[in-house]
Amino acid sequence: MLTPNVGGDYDMDSLRSLGESGIIRIMERALGSSQRDAIGFGDDVSAVRLTNNLLAVFKTDMLVGSTDVPPGMTMRQTARKAVIANVSDFAAKGVRPYAGLVALGLPANMTTKDVQEVARGLSRGAKEYHFPLLGGDTNESKDLVISISLLGLTPRRKLILRSGAKIGDIVAVTGDFGSTSAGLRALIDEKIRPERLPRDLAKAVYHSDAELDVGLKLAATGAITSSIDSSDGLAWSLHEISKMSRIGIILSSVPISKAAQEFAANYGYDAVDLALYGGEEYRLIFTVKRSLLRTAQKAIGGRLRPIGVVTKRAEGVRLSEKGRDMKIEMKGWQHFRS
């Protein structure tokens, strides 16, 4: 398949060789904003300045049935997940969603009950995070498509980007990783039927939550220098902070959930890989000023878990734990490659 020769680098590459990140680079070259005060491609959200201090913050994320809906997920859970994915990116930036729009692509063979369940899932997700979905668009499509767009407002100084980490900052997360990856592996590899998934894995796959209140509390402390949501995987997200902030990261531990450890032990998977290289988990990954670590910890209590430190960029992203030193590969969830 030939792709547009925007910038001249990718004209003979297929979408599978490009991957999602390569496609985004093409779009950024063609569409990158010339407005000086805009925040465009390359972060969890986009933003544009409305006044000297006020930003309008935007996010849009699309759910597609064939690539984003695991076996056993109901229509209501699917629609709610589409909302959660967008809210999680706002959480990582410390911004509250103000309102949203939804665009639906619906296969003609869907039933009235299916559409009612989609509507209920959208309504539930929006009510959980206290914003209205004001309308949107509906069209016929060959696959289920739910595209959410959100708007928020924030003072410029409070928006937390991926690019602010400094050497000496503490790297931290808001919980353990691997449960969603383990649950998806169980379903995709047909190790466990959907109705027999252990409770912790089922919740991670079918009813994940965005950590909006946690993100807002962290942003209010002034202690957070960079932040990203983990929906593309822990390793990928750490590399994004490393790239955007031009720093390195040394991990002292990998935060693996008990459920992922048990699944790995029972079915022959690597628990570290499940935690590092999964995806579809909506944790927050962030860097904290060392002098304000206790302030951040107090703001969110036991949710803050230090896992490493920011170092010089030349060190890359590495794990140094109990005598083990290993490079963390830049792998995670990417459409067209995953």
Whether 287 maps to a domain, the answer reads yes
133-148 residues labelled b (16+ CB within 10 A) or e (exposed): beeeeeeeeeebbbbb
Any domain includes 211:
yes
In angstroms and rounded to an integer, the radius of gyration of the C-alpha atoms of the chain is 20
The CATH number assigned to the domain holding 213 equals 3.90.650.10
Task: Judge if 126 and 77 occupy the same domain.
Answer: yes
What is the rounded CA–CA span in Å between residue 104 and residue 299? 38
- Please indicate, yes or no, whether residues 193 and 66 belong to a single structural domain of this protein: no
Of 148, 182, 206, which closes a domain?
A: 148
Same domain, 182 and 316: yes
- Asked whether residue 87 falls in the same domain as residue 215, the answer is no
Window from 178-182, 283-287, 324-328 with minimum mean pLDDT: 324-328
Asked whether residue 92 falls in the same domain as residue 143, the answer is yes
Contact 167, 77 (CB under 8 A): no
Looking at the predicted structure, is the pLDDT value of residue 216 above 80? yes
pLDDT at site 314: 82
Please, what is the average pLDDT of the chain?
89
Residue 42 lies in a domain: no
Q: What is the pLDDT of residue 315?
A: 84
DSSP element (H, E) containing 275: helix 271-276
pLDDT tens-digit readout, 217-265: 999 999 999 999 999 999 999 999 999 999 999 999 999 999 999 999 9
Residues 268 and 307 in one domain: yes
For the beta carbon of residue 12, count every other beta carbon within 10 angstroms: 10
Tens of pLDDT along 11-66? 455 766 666 666 667 776 776 654 555 676 678 899 999 998 899 999 999 999 99
**Closest Cα to residue 221, out of 294, 282, 170, 168?**
294
Same domain, yes or no, for 78 and 226? no
E-strand stretches of 175-283: 224-229, 248-251
Number of separate domains in the chain = 2
Q: What phi and psi, each to the nearest 5 degrees, are found at residue 287? A: -115, 145
Q: Confirm whether 4 is domain-assigned.
A: no
Q: Give CA–CA dist 298/4, Å, rounded.
A: 50
Say yes or no: 200 and 129 in one domain: no
What is the per-residue pLDDT across 264-292, written as a single tens digit (0 to 9) for each? 999 999 999 999 998 889 999 999 999 99
Are both 136 and 205 inside the same structural domain?
A: no
Q: What is the CATH number of the domain that holds 70?
A: 3.30.1330.10
When pLDDT is cut at 50, 70 and 90, the band that residue 306 belongs to is: very high
Last residue in a domain, options 148, 183, 215: 148
Residues β-bridged to residue 248: 311
Judge if 183 and 260 occupy the same domain. Answer: yes
Residue 110 in 3-state DSSP? coil
- For residue 134, give its domain range: 60-148
Assess whether 312 and 181 both reside in one domain.
yes
Q: Which two tokens stand for residue 311?
A: 């170092």
Residue at 336 is within a domain: no
Phi, then psi, of 125 in degrees rounded to 5: -60, -45
pTM value surpassing 0.75: yes
Q: Which residues contact 197 (CB under 8 A, 6 or more apart)?
A: 72, 183, 186, 187, 205
Strand partners, 127: none
Sheet of strand 97-106, all strands in order from the earlier edge strand to the far edge: 46-49, 54-64, 145-155, 97-106, 133-140
Q: In 3D, which of 335, 329, 210 has the Cα closest to residue 277?
A: 329
Shared domain for 179 and 319, answered yes or no, is yes
